[in-house]
Amino acid sequence: MNNDSIAANIAKVLQQVSNAVEKYHRRPESVRVMAVSKTQQAEAVRAAANAGLVDFGENYLQEALDKIHSCADLGLTWHFIGPIQSNKTRPIAASFQWVHSVDREKILRRLSEHRDPEQAPLNICIQVNVSKEASKSGVAPENLAPLLALATELPNLKLRGLMAIPAASDDFDTQKQACDRMAELFRDAQSRYPSMDTLSMGMSADLEAAVAAGSNMLRIGTAIFGARHR
């Protein structure tokens, strides 16, 4: 996909977000768009950055590290959003500003241990398997509380919020129900941990439902870059 197409797609996505924000009486500045750039080349990241995006999400560590290095001059904010193997926590902690896909105690502890205290604290979102799908990562809602507590106790981390990938559906009401369940979990957690300000939820296919439910960070890949290469 060429740079002009990426810029045009971003304009369409931002218009969709603007329409949803207005429809559901959200503040325009309250919703951030993260470009999910996994499998994309560094040139595509540059095109998206030139179109105004600053947040980029990656799933695959080595591919991400290459892009972070290639695009270091752009001042981007990098989010790790894929499943985390315990032997990958050191480079993740060193190279990303955010990690959205934490779902177990061991990973939290290792990220804290491997984050250089000279760096800003690593922003953490706990991934919740809100639809309880066997194929999805994430902590079960009923097991969320201990992870939240631990994330606030460990050094070098800052608990920022929750992340979810609700079960895929083409039906808006079904999408909205799952997003509403996640938003309720977020509000409950936020009441106990005021540092939490981020509900990372909503992708290309369920963007409107996520905004309607209260998401403030959308993770958009296909609608920006087209179908993934792998």
Task: Give dist(CA 37, CA 155) in Å, integer.
Answer: 29
User: What CA–CA distance (Å, rounded) separates 56 from 129?
Assistant: 22
Q: pLDDT of the chain along its 230 residues, tens only?
A: 788 999 999 999 999 999 999 999 999 899 999 999 999 999 999 999 999 999 999 999 999 999 999 999 999 999 999 999 999 999 999 999 999 999 999 999 999 999 999 999 999 999 999 988 778 889 999 999 999 999 999 999 999 999 999 999 999 999 999 999 999 999 999 999 999 999 999 999 999 999 999 999 999 999 999 986 55
Question: What are the domain boundaries of the chain?
Answer: 3-224
Asked if residue 48 lies in contact with residue 77, where contact means CB atoms within 8 angstroms, the answer is: no
Query: What fold is seen in the domain 3-224?
Result: TIM Barrel (3.20.20)
The three-point CA angle 157-75-68 to 5° equals 75
Residue 179 phi/psi, 5° resolution? -65, -35
pLDDT score recorded for residue 132: 83
Q: CB count, 10 Å around CB of 165?
A: 24
Predicted local confidence at residue 3, as pLDDT: 86
pTM for the whole structure: 0.96
Cα separation, 32 vs 28, in Å, equals 9
